[in-house]
Structure 1
Amino acid sequence: MAGRVRELSRDAERGARARLVEAWAEGLDTRVLHCRELLHSWRPSHAQLCVDGGWERVLVCTRCKPLKRQVLDSEGCLVGSPRYEYAEGYLPDREDGLGRLDVEDRGRLRLAAIRRQQGAQD
């Protein structure tokens, strides 16, 4: 019995999460929605030589325009993790309660993008 109650509770949480993600996706600009579900379409913007002989390279997404900054050593290997600068509206607001998107959330974003595309074709 306790297992069944836990399962029902988990299903209710998933349903609530699904509605939250779907509502958030509905408010996204179409370009942002596509980047959230397809990932970014990066192109080089510029690079700057660093004092130590390495490089700071900046990439920009052709769809939603955030910046991705990479630090490269003198051999061209990545140093650390890239930093991202997103435009307003790309990340969920803290008040939305979404946090990090999981595999199921990304699936919902894909479906939202498909539905939006289908609606644009009608």
Structure 2
Amino acid sequence: MSLSNNIIKNIELTSEQMFKASTVSAMLTQIAPLYEYQNGAKTNNVIGTRYTCVFPMYAYEKASVKVIGDLAPSITPEMLVQSPIPVKITGLKGKIYTTQNHSIEISLSAGKIEKEVSNNGK
């Protein structure tokens, strides 16, 4: 691994650096269990939830956000059948890494993702 790859994998970004806000709004499109990996291999151990979100403030780019420890999410896949759900993401962090073909990517994790409450209480 090159020096630049070693440096890049240690860069972590805060929500404020990426989105200029401590709480980020997004549209939730999918929910799936987050599995633990050991020595590069997926195990059967569920360690949290993987949320697929669309970010309107970034031209509706889609990204997965991992929430470790979220074993009983308040939003279920059944709630997403008809349409995406507006959510707020708190404690969002990004970790930069390079792929085998040398492209730079970002892995997102958060402390919590919850349904955004509208002004009319729904």
Instruction: Please give the range of the TM-score, normalised by the shorter of the 2 chains.
Output: under 0.3
TM-score for both structures, normalised by structure 2: 0.26
Relative to its length, the structure with more strand (as a share) is 2
Decide which structure has the larger Cα Rg and report it. 1
Relative to its length, the structure with more helix (as a share) is 1
